[in-house]
Amino acid sequence: MLCADCDFDSLWFLVKESKPLIAEAIGDRVVNVTFASPEKRQYASITGLARLVEDEKMVQKLWRPELKAYFPNGLEEPDLALLRVDFHHAQVWDADTKP
């Protein structure tokens, strides 16, 4: 999944609502999202509550051309939805071993 945006306390993802992963996230609500940049040896782990949000203006705001790789029909993609993850805990670390 590609994170479309983040703000002070939330991550935003454009998703296909019908995907099993989304049903799992919404069913359990507590999720963990991890980010990794192995070449920079930087990592982040975020735990929070996931929920689907119905907001067409936000979908349009978050849309970027590179998302066409995931959603070939663009903003007209069937099942296109917003997944919001509100932070409860976040940890960021740099695994650089330089002195």
Q: Evaluate if residue 23 carries a pLDDT over 90.
A: no
pTM: 0.80
In sequence order, the β-bridge partners of residue 69 are: none
pLDDT tens, residue by residue, 24-77:
777 668 999 999 988 888 899 999 999 888 899 999 999 999 999 989 999 999
pLDDT at 47: 95
Domain boundaries, the chain: 3-94
Rounded Cα distance between 25 and 51, Å, is 8
Confidence of residue 99 (pLDDT cuts 50, 70, 90): very low
Domain 3-94 sits in CATH 2.30.110.10: yes
What pLDDT shows up at residue 20? 73
